């Protein structure tokens, strides 16, 4: 037996209805937007949340959330992703700039016997000197994070790929 509805019914203007129908039938819109538009249209036609969830192969919670977002914040919010908190950035921009600056220097100029940086050598150099440079967050710098920082700046790694 479906759950009884205890919320207001959805109401849309003619323009919003046309827009929802257009989005739900679109082949170029993002899949999640077409799904949400279809959920809202199905709810408007009187189908139960359970029925809508089964029809679209999603959970009932997904249907309820979509409809609740529409009722609380409007159609545009219901069709879009809400911003997520996410994990805070670990490395400030000035630390990344310092890493790139280190990568642009020659290892020989810093007392190493190498002509070019290897990922292993550059990582250990950064870990050894990051605190005195004022970037303690770099003490646990991984090779993959170093690669990502250099790749973002379109810098290439040195000799071997250790």
Distances, alpha carbon 21 to alpha carbons 14, 49, 55, in Å: 11, 19, 17
Are residue 73 and residue 107 in the same domain, yes or no? no
Residue 16: per-residue pLDDT = 94
H runs (alpha helix) in 29-92: 31-44, 49-56, 60-73, 75-79
Are residue 97 and residue 139 in the same domain, yes or no? yes
- Compute the Cα dihedral for 87, 93, 98, 103 and give only its sign: positive
CA distance linking residue 140 with residue 130, whole number of Å: 10
Please determine, for residue 162, whether its predicted confidence score (pLDDT) is greater than 50. Answer: no
Are residue 63 and residue 120 in the same domain, yes or no? no
Cβ(82)–Cβ(127) below 8 Å? no
Residue 155: per-residue pLDDT = 66
User: For 1-5, what is the mean pLDDT?
Assistant: 56
Please determine, for residue 160, whether its predicted confidence score (pLDDT) is greater than 60. Answer: no
pLDDT tens string 69-102: 999 999 999 999 877 778 777 788 899 999 999 9
Q: 49 lies in which domain range? A: 14-79
DSSP state letter for 125? H
- What's the whole-model pTM score? 0.53
DSSP-assigned letters across all residues of 27-41: SSS-HHHHHHHHHHH
- Compute the Cα dihedral for 23, 28, 30, 34 and give only its sign: positive
Domain count, the chain: 2
Are residue 72 and residue 28 in the same domain, yes or no? yes
Residue 6 in any domain: the answer is: no
Residue 101 in any domain: the answer is: yes
Are residue 60 and residue 19 in the same domain, yes or no? yes
Which token pair is 22? 């257009």
Which pLDDT band, with edges at 50, 70 and 90, does 7 fall under? confident
Cβ(71)–Cβ(80) below 8 Å? no
Residue 4: per-residue pLDDT = 57
Cβ(127)–Cβ(146) below 8 Å? no
Are residue 70 and residue 107 in the same domain, yes or no? no
């Amino acid at each position: 037996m479906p759950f009884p509805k205890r919320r207001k019914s959805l109401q849309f203007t003619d323009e919003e209805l046309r827009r929802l129908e257009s989005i739900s039938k679109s082949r170029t819109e993002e899949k999640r937007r077409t799904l949400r538009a279809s959920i809202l249209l199905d709810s408007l036609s009187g189908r139960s949340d359970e029925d809508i969830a089964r029809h679209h192969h999603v959970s009932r919670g997904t249907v309820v959330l979509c409809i609740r977002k529409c009722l609380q914040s409007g159609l545009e919010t219901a069709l879009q992703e809400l911003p997520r908190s996410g994990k805070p950035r670990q490395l400030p921009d000035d630390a990344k700039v310092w890493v790139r600056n280190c990568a642009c220097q020659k290892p020989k100029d810093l007392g190493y016997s190498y002509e070019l940086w290897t990922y292993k050598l550059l990582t250990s150099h950064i870990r050894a000197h990051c605190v005195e440079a004022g970037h303690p967050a770099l003490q646990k710098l991984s090779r993959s994070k170093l690669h990502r920082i250099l790749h973002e700046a379109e810098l290439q790694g040195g000799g071997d790929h250790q």
